[in-house]
Structure 1
Amino acid sequence: MTAFTVTRSTAIAAPAAPAETVYGLIADFHEWRLWSPWEDLDPQLHREYTGPSSGPGASYAWKGNRKAGAGRMTISAVEAGRSVDVDLEFIKPMSSHNHVRFDIVPSGAGVEVTWTMTGETSGLFSLIGRIVPMDKFAGKDFEKGLAALKARAENR
């Protein structure tokens, strides 16, 4: 097994209450349709939301085409306006379990948002990871997602 960390950050200057605005877009999986970099991989994506609408226990499962795969995310912990922790389980195309964390830190008139995913690769994916590190594999998606999150928060 090979441990990995992928992390990206962006500054967001939402017009009013930037920490609360950004937190609301992250802590409610229904909002992810507006900024997640993976939402457009399958126009027929099947989504299922369970648990509370946001915060700890909120869960989002998806099933889609080969690109979208299948998996589940569950919010495991929050600090309102400051952080969101997510347990991420990929089922297809390959099985893995990762931890995702969003940190929201005041910065000037806005916030700095940091999106971090940690986990371990094993088997074939571990071998592939030696050629294409997870940071290179997922980093561009994080950048795309943070850009969309920024646009959404700043244009509310």
Structure 2
Amino acid sequence: MLQKLLVGLAAAILILVGFIASRPAEFTIQRTATLPGPVDVAFAQVNDFHQWNAWSPWAALDPAMKTTYSGPEVGVGAGYAWTGNEQVGEGRMTIEESRAPEHVRIKLEFIKPWAATNLTDFHFKPVDGGTEVTWAMSGTNDFMGKAFGLLMDMDAMVGKDFEKGLASLKGVVEAEVKKRAEAEAARVAAAKAAEEKAAEEKAAEEKAAAAAPAVAQPTP
């Protein structure tokens, strides 16, 4: 009897292993949102890792998280590494492609709690009402990744983070657009004030010249 149970268990395990192995290895998780601002504003927030803490869905999970930057300030070669609690783990990101203001591709390397390497792509497109931003992550699952996918809906779990991040990015873009509008309004007001002051000074000079007594010409 025990032997039959063991054989049955072994057969069930083999079937499960075979089923897991047959699962698709390639995966893509993608979310899209429209942000109310020009393309270059949204692009700049993604192309510069120094801006990520303002909108990244994972930045607030560990206030004590340690971050380091490497390479150029923005664009291709810029790097960002983090070490934090069990919720954020440890990893690094490197911008591999930057085509302003349309596309940013990032190599995403997880170190802890498990090792994995994925690609993250941001696409930016002008549309009515602002900029359409598509955030996608793609990669290949190993056997353990496939098994984990049977227990957890990775698209729903990671997709929820993407949606949260895009919502935060929307707020950042709105604030930047407002800041630019205020700066432009201040510049226009300053230019107008300068023109009015110059006109007033010119009018005063002309008035003073008209009121000045004529200088008598010497007789020959």
Matched residue, 2:62: 42
CA distance in 2, matches of 1:133, 1:56: 32
CA distance in 1, matches of 2:81, 2:133: 24
CA shift, 1:2, in A, is 1.8
User: So what's the TM-score if we normalise by structure 1?
Assistant: 0.94
CA distance in 1, matches of 2:33, 2:66: 29
CA shift, 1:93, in A, is 0.6
CA distance in 2, matches of 1:89, 1:26: 17
Matched residue, 1:9: 32
Asked if 1:68 is matched to 2:88, the reply is yes
Q: Which amino acid aligns with 1:74?
A: T
Q: Which has the higher contact order (CA 8 A, sep 6+)?
A: 1
CA shift, 1:125, in A, is 2.7
Q: Which amino acid aligns with 1:9?
A: T
User: So what's the TM-score if we normalise by structure 2?
Assistant: 0.68
Percent identity of equivalent pairs: 42
Asked if 1:123 is matched to 2:123, the reply is no
Select the residue among 78, 97, 110 that pairs with 2:117: 97
Asked if 1:27 is matched to 2:27, the reply is no
Task: Pick the structure with more strand per residue.
Answer: 1
Considering only aligned residues, what root-mean-square deviation do their CA atoms show, in Å? 1.1
Aligned structure 1 segments of 4 or more residues deviating by more than 4 angstroms: none
Q: Secondary structure at the match of 1:55?
A: coil
Aligned length: 153
Matched residue, 1:138: 158
Task: Pick the structure with more helix per residue.
Answer: 2
| Structure 2: stretches of 5+ with no match in the other structure | 1-23, 177-220
Aligned residues of 1:78 and 1:84 also touching (Cα < 8 A): yes
Decide which structure has the larger Cα Rg and report it. 2
